[in-house]
A and B are shown apart, each in its own frame.
Chain A
Amino acid sequence: MKKIIIVFVLLFHNLFAFDKDTTLKVYNKIFTSIFPQKDVINIYVLNQQYIDLFKNSHKFKIVYNIKKASVAIVTSQKELEEIQKIKTKNSIIIFATQEKLLFDNKLTIGAFYWKKGRSQLLFVKDRLDKYHIKLPNEYDKFIIEL
């Protein structure tokens, strides 16, 4: 029993381990590819863990007004719903941190999350097309059609 508890504790710990360096590098690369012309990318994020992740980056600037944001990172259904309530002139790009938020919401263009210890990056083709986003060829293998 003791062994099982230890296994569970370790598994939970591992599952929610948040590799800051890798995550920041991946976001940096993704958003630099989406916004190649921008030196600083305004990012709207409400989750404290992600605020902490981006706050010290020179590439990203956290904005608290979604109208000023180039991209919004949603980490939960609640955040997604709140963003959807705010109508902006320019449709904002939404990027998710969960697989579910990508598949359940048509406004989300892609997601970056962890599955079985491996980083998972997905883009939905028609949503990228909708926003006229052309990603470099190296991302082709991450683009899916739903």
Chain B
Amino acid sequence: MKYKYINKYILVLFIFLMGFAVYMQYSAMENTKIVKQQEIDKTKAYAQNIISYIKKRVPNDLEKKLLDKKLRKELNSVLQAFITDKYQYIFVLDKPNDKYYRFLLDGSPVQKEAFHSIFFPKSSVYDEVYKHKKIKVIKQKDSVANVWISVLAPIVYDDKTEALLVLDLSKQYVNYLESFNSPLVKLIGLMQIFLVVSIIVLLILFYRYYKFKKHILVDKTTGAYTRQYLDEFFSQHNLDMYHALMIDIDEFRVVNTKFGYEVGNKVLFEFVEYIKDSLKDYDSDFVFRIGGGEFIIILPKNSNISLGEFCDIFFKKLKHKKYFVKNEVVDISISMSAISIPQGTTSWYRVLRILDEKLLEIKNRGKNDFDVIDDKDNVKIKYSDINYIKDKLDNEGLVSLYQPIFDTKTKQIVKYETLVRLYDEEEDKVISPYFFLDVIRGTSQYIKMSRLIFKNVFDTLAKYPDIELSVNFHLDDLYNTEMMQMIEDILSKHNEYAHRLTFEILEDKEIFDYEKVNSVFSKLKVFGSKIAIDDFGSGYANYNYLIKLDIDLLKIDGSIIKELLNNPTKTKKVISSIKQLADSLGYEVIAEFVAEQKVYDYMLELDIKYSQGFYLGEPKPISEYVD
């Protein structure tokens, strides 16, 4: 789970839980409502049954027949049979001559109302039932003691209402019905309280976090955001929605030295305020201080102006700005690099590196200027993104190309150098290791890539039994136990092909432990593999190597070979001396960067045994040379 999504997930979870709690409460209420309605329906059915019984027992002239005390007693007993904790009162009323309601029957076991005693209210609802002969349900007011619902049912003879049967459902019973769901309702209530308390706690924590964040994420001296916030900002926002600018105040040290730190800080503060003010028109206030006088500005891409135009205006504004401190006019100049962050960029640090490199370039050429990084430079960001590289390695995006090494005299291919590339399907082009090798060195991706290369190499050796291959091998790899174990395992597994493999040792640092390096070389040679020193004559590849290392080949550095075109006399002498030395020590010599006929002719003249370069053959899939 990505950190930037955690807050969203928590919010969604809370909304879901709140929704669930509300739904549960609604369900419980609906359930209770259904149960109540069922009871009302049952009561209506009871009312009809009681009326049927009364009509069966008294087929006509109800009021007159009920003058018979015995019959009243019998029917009162019938009504009384229904009196439980569910029914508070059951009684029958009539309304002679449209005057007052009077009791005809009363099912109450105690305080039974007298026959013909008056009963109020003169209710319009009672009258309505009397008139329209339709059963009706009344929700009683609180002032009617102990009665929840009254069901009024007309007792009709010959299409004329002669009396009303009233069944009062008790409040006690409705409380009982509501208590069915009360544990669930209580639980839901507790859940809601818990959620509300949690939300309040979260809000308090969020507020405290916000205060704390502001404290640590805003630079006190300038009011700009800090680098921490910059990192956090891009952990929560897509990089490719923004332009980024890096600004460095040229020689800001001088301001501090000349006017003191207090003045320097005031200048910085005013500088940031001026930038913020200038950015208002572009929907941004994102100014980050990343060093003493170094700032990053983030600008949304939705601005109505191109990055180039913006930089032009912005740079001029900053250039002409004067700072008045303590009656002094302080002039400062800035250097600025800017980039429109390319689509799909995921690493802010790559962007920062590119901006930094460009800024350094501006400073080296004299400062007080700006550059907008173009699309060509943007490629660096894309191909230097470790996630992009990882994706390529995981999805067969690694390709091995092979450049032939020729016998200079016979112009016959004797070997191929394996060169690793990534393949960009979208652009349909291969990507040089220049972009990605340094990024992954020291990571698990580097081991993964090496494993893939060796797999390709041995697959090629197995498929083509008449060819030899060389593979580049970095000096650091010799010290990497995991890498060496992997190579030894592969060589053991493909022992029969190992003698057709040459390891070209690349290095960019001095060897101090020759014993260790020789020990590794010995292990490789046990399998029959050869060792070549790459780029001899430049950097750290020096004569010590020839004395102390047990090698088979010397590959003269390309920069020396290239010099043949500019300074042939001296260069030929150098190459000739290397060749003589190698011959005397029994090493074979390869010249790389043989890029044109003239260079090749020099190789023939100097009797260099092997040549390699674009003039002779470009890196290609092996099938294009062998099949």
Chain A residues packing against B (C-beta within 8 Å): 3, 6-8, 10-12, 14-15, 17, 19, 22, 99, 114-122, 141-142, 144
Contact = CB atoms under 8 A, between A and B. Distances in A.
A85 B99 CA distance: 36
Interface string B74-85: 000000000111
Given A8-B110, A12-B110, A144 B100 contact: yes
B119 A114 contact: no
Contacts of A12: 110
Interface stretch (B142-150, B190-198, B307-315): B142-150
A93 B309 CA distance: 101
Contact of A8 (B109, B122, B166): B109
Nearest to A6: B85
B85 A10 contact: yes
B40 to A, nearest CB: 18
A14 B146 contact: yes
Most B Cβ at <10 Å: residue of A12, A19, A118, A122: A118
B117 A117 contact: no
Contacts of A122: 118, 120
A11 B108 contact: yes
A6 B173 CA distance: 13
Contact of A115 (B83, B110, B113, B122): B113
Most B Cβ at <10 Å: residue of A17, A116, A121: A116
Given A8-B110, A14-B146, A3 B85 contact: yes
A107 B489 CA distance: 123
B370 interface: no
Nearest to B111: A15
A117 B100 contact: no
Contacts of B172: 10
Contacts, number: 69
Nearest to A16: B111
Interface string B90-128: 010000000010000000111101000111111000000
Contact of A118 (B83, B84, B85, B144): B144
Contacts of A7: 83-85, 109
Contacts of B168: 116-117
| 10 cross-chain pairs, A with B, having the tightest CB-CB distances, nearest first | A117-B145, A141-B122, A14-B146, A116-B89, A117-B147, A117-B144, A120-B120, A117-B146, A15-B111, A118-B144
12 contacts: A3-B84, A10-B172, A14-B88, A15-B110, A19-B143, A99-B118, A116-B91, A116-B108, A116-B113, A117-B168, A118-B147, A142-B122
B8 to A, nearest CB: 54
A142 B89 CA distance: 23
A135 to B, nearest CB: 15
Contact of B119 (A3, A11, A17, A116): A116
A12 B145 CA distance: 12
Contacts of B119: 115-116, 118, 120
B117 A99 contact: yes
Given A117-B144, A120-B120, 12 more contacts: A11-B110, A14-B146, A15-B110, A19-B143, A116-B91, A116-B119, A117-B146, A117-B168, A118-B144, A119-B143, A120-B119, A144-B118
Nearest to A21: B143
Contacts of A120: 118-120
Given A8-B110, A12-B110, A117-B146, A141 B83 contact: no
Interface string B489-515: 000000000000000000000000000
Contacts of B85: 3, 6-7, 10
A17 B145 CA distance: 8
A129 to B, nearest CB: 19
Nearest to A12: B110
Nearest to A19: B145
Contacts of B111: 15
Contacts of B89: 116-117
Nearest to B166: A116
A1 to B, nearest CB: 13
A69 to B, nearest CB: 27
B309 to A, nearest CB: 79
Contacts of B121: 118, 141
Contacts of B88: 11, 14, 116-117
Contacts of B120: 115, 118, 120-122, 141-142
Nearest to A142: B120
